[in-house]
Chains A and B, each alone.
Chain A
């Protein structure tokens, strides 16, 4: 429906756009101010919830990771934990630690990707966009050494992990982490305190605490507005109970705050990996699980890099799940983006900075 006020035109900030990714926002604007953002879902809908009903549990992990492949470990963990919750499977201690390590590697990987894109959304072709890609290579090599694949690990199975830590992994990981900490200093100096980045991101796309809760933002977008909700602290799943790390929360709720939350979370992730490597318990890394699981209902909440992903699994006694319902964090973040013009003033030139500060993953939203 074309809004009647004169001079409003509809622009499709659409799938065919340098900064939009596989998604379309219909902006109602008068050339400068954006009055309404209408999200248009469904460009990358693959019907993963239907595919999962045709796959056994171990086979189902491979398509499930395609929901947010950049953060494959955390997403895979959500499905596996939901099945384990439904069938009350206990995971050995060592497997929990290995899972935590791979999840944090995947989180750093995803946050680096998000920071690179957010920097490029602000404009030009800043060097930090390429540095993040170069530094991600090291974490991809770490994951490759542990699981055998760089992106889609499919390393978690109900009952544990598929393989043990290879020898030499700990030394290489510690070396990569110390290198990464020095690189984070270079990022902070060249970008976080960058005066022009601050003018482009401070105070833009402000999301207050009540709105963040009421509209249902997720992950760094929620913690950027001062809400203290991090599933790793909430449920203390896997080995997060025994590892001490701080929750990154910022008060202002603007693009810079969300960017800062991701940056601090990367620092915390390096500390988590170090502690997990230090006190890695001995013992088995996998518990045999029968292919057919008893009838039941399972629910899992995992803090992926984009936010809290909730998976509700219903088993009917066969070796395939009866129904898998995924509450994707990017679905909620995209919804919050569409409500932003009513909360704060957004110009057309702000749209990429605001969108990429929520770091939406469109495949995750469309399922």
Chain B
């Protein structure tokens, strides 16, 4: 039976009533679900196992200094449902902390390392939180993709 976007949202909101803060259909075949940080792992495993979202496309973070929050977005796709889910999780900007999803999708391990070195989001339970793209001698504490890091003008 073909799952429409609303069925997927209904399935997720029923099982995790209090964890899902907001979920809407952006465009046909594209859903955005925002989850509280502590419910992230359970929703993710639910998405992967019962709803079949087992093809990870990537993950990245967005910095909102205005609302003093950082949002981590996981892009997932399912072969059977042919729709894309943007699983989002917010954390406060001063000390961003999120549970790691590398247990659910192994590839997120690399994306989370990149988010850590670019934004400073600490992922608890991450096996190897190290530099990925930046050079080894990049000084600690400086996170280039944050809004307050100014690019040196040429």
A and B in contact, CB less than 8 Å: yes
Please list the residues of chain A having a beta carbon within 8 angstroms of any beta carbon in chain B.
41-42, 45, 47, 49-51, 54, 85, 213-216, 227, 229, 234, 297, 299, 301, 308, 310, 312, 314, 323, 325, 327-328, 331-332, 335, 339, 366-367
Do B54 and A234 touch across chains, with their CB atoms under 8 A apart?
Answer: no
- Report the interface size for chain B: residues with CB under 8 A from the other chain: 30
Q: Which residue of B lies closest to A54 (CB)?
A: B151
Do B133 and A41 touch across chains, with their CB atoms under 8 A apart?
Answer: yes
Do B62 and A325 touch across chains, with their CB atoms under 8 A apart?
Answer: yes
| A contacts with B: majority SS | mixed
Do A308 and B133 touch across chains, with their CB atoms under 8 A apart?
Answer: no
Do A42 and B133 touch across chains, with their CB atoms under 8 A apart?
Answer: yes
Q: How many A-B residue pairs have CB under 8 A?
A: 74
**Cβ of B131: which chain A residues have Cβ within 8 Å of it?**
42
B110: interface (CB < 8 Å): yes
**Cβ of B133: which chain A residues have Cβ within 8 Å of it?**
41-42, 45, 366-367
Q: What distance in Å separates the Cβ of A66 from its nearest Cβ neighbour in chain B?
A: 15
7 closest A-B pairs by CB:
A327-B58, A325-B60, A45-B133, A42-B133, A216-B56, A216-B107, A327-B57
Q: Report how far A301 CA is from B135 CA in the complex, Å.
A: 30
**Cβ of A310: which chain B residues have Cβ within 8 Å of it?**
57-58, 75, 84
Q: What distance in Å separates the Cβ of A68 from its nearest Cβ neighbour in chain B?
A: 15
Q: Report how far A310 CA is from B110 CA in the complex, Å.
A: 17
Do A50 and B26 touch across chains, with their CB atoms under 8 A apart?
Answer: no
**Cβ of B30: which chain A residues have Cβ within 8 Å of it?**
299
B25: interface (CB < 8 Å): no
**Cβ of B144: which chain A residues have Cβ within 8 Å of it?**
47, 50
Q: What distance in Å separates the Cβ of B142 from its nearest Cβ neighbour in chain A?
A: 13
Do B55 and A216 touch across chains, with their CB atoms under 8 A apart?
Answer: yes
CB < 8 Å neighbour of A42 from B62, B106, B134: B134
Q: List 23 A-B contacts (CB under 8 A).
A: A41-B110, A41-B132, A42-B133, A47-B144, A214-B55, A214-B106, A215-B106, A229-B79, A299-B27, A299-B84, A299-B86, A308-B57, A310-B58, A312-B60, A312-B86, A325-B58, A325-B62, A325-B73, A327-B57, A327-B60, A328-B58, A366-B133, A367-B133
Q: Report how far A335 CA is from B55 CA in the complex, Å.
A: 13
Given contacts A310-B57, A323-B63, contact A50 B151 (CB under 8 A): yes
Q: Report how far A85 CA is from B30 CA in the complex, Å.
A: 12
Please list the residues of chain B having a beta carbon within 8 angstroms of any beta carbon in chain A.
26-27, 30, 54-58, 60, 62-63, 73, 75, 79, 82, 84, 86, 105-107, 110, 131-135, 144-145, 149, 151
Q: Report how far A101 CA is from B13 CA in the complex, Å.
A: 43
**Cβ of B55: which chain A residues have Cβ within 8 Å of it?**
213-214, 216
Q: What distance in Å separates the Cβ of B54 from its nearest Cβ neighbour in chain A?
A: 6
Given contacts A45-B133, A45-B134, A310-B75, contact A216 B57 (CB under 8 A): yes
**Cβ of A215: which chain B residues have Cβ within 8 Å of it?**
106-107
Q: What distance in Å separates the Cβ of A299 from its nearest Cβ neighbour in chain B?
A: 6
Q: What distance in Å separates the Cβ of A132 from its nearest Cβ neighbour in chain B?
A: 30
Do B132 and A299 touch across chains, with their CB atoms under 8 A apart?
Answer: no
**Cβ of B149: which chain A residues have Cβ within 8 Å of it?**
50
Interface centre among B57, B75, B134 (most CB of A within 10 A): B57
